[in-house]
């Protein structure tokens, strides 16, 4: 849901040539800052704080916990993911609606 909302948001904000490239950058950053390729916790410092502040880390953490059937504490990660999805869905709906109204005017 988060990536769908992000796609709608970037599609509404940018033209048809810029939006796909920007979405590719977001997907690459998601895999990097989500801890897919390296351990964010071991990186420490600013990198760890950035990773923890974004939803991608929580997605990876929840998926890893679920894959080993360790559901203790998974709810916090799912709530953070859901909160980001709701915020981006609402933001994309508002921006898309305002762009459509502007195009009709």
pLDDT tens figures, 27-54: 898 888 998 988 898 988 999 999 999 9
What is the average per-residue pLDDT within 56-76?
Answer: 96
Looking at the predicted structure, is the pLDDT value of residue 105 above 90? no
Cα–Cα distance, 53 to 49 (Å, whole number): 6
* pTM recorded for the entire structure: 0.85
pLDDT at 78: 97
Q: Give the pLDDT score at 83.
A: 97
- The answer to whether 52 and 40 have CB atoms below 8 angstroms apart is yes
């Amino acid at each position: 849901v988060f990536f769908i909302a992000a796609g709608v948001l970037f599609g509404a904000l940018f033209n048809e040539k810029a939006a796909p490239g920007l979405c590719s950058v977001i997907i690459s950053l998601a895999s990097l800052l989500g801890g897919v390729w390296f351990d964010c916790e071991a990186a420490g410092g600013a990198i760890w704080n950035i990773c923890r502040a974004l939803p991608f880390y929580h997605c990876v953490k929840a998926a890893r916990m679920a894959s080993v059937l360790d559901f203790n504490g998974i709810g916090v990660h799912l709530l953070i993911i859901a909160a980001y999805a709701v915020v981006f869905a609402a933001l994309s709906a508002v921006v898309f609606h305002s762009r459509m109204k502007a195009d009709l005017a």
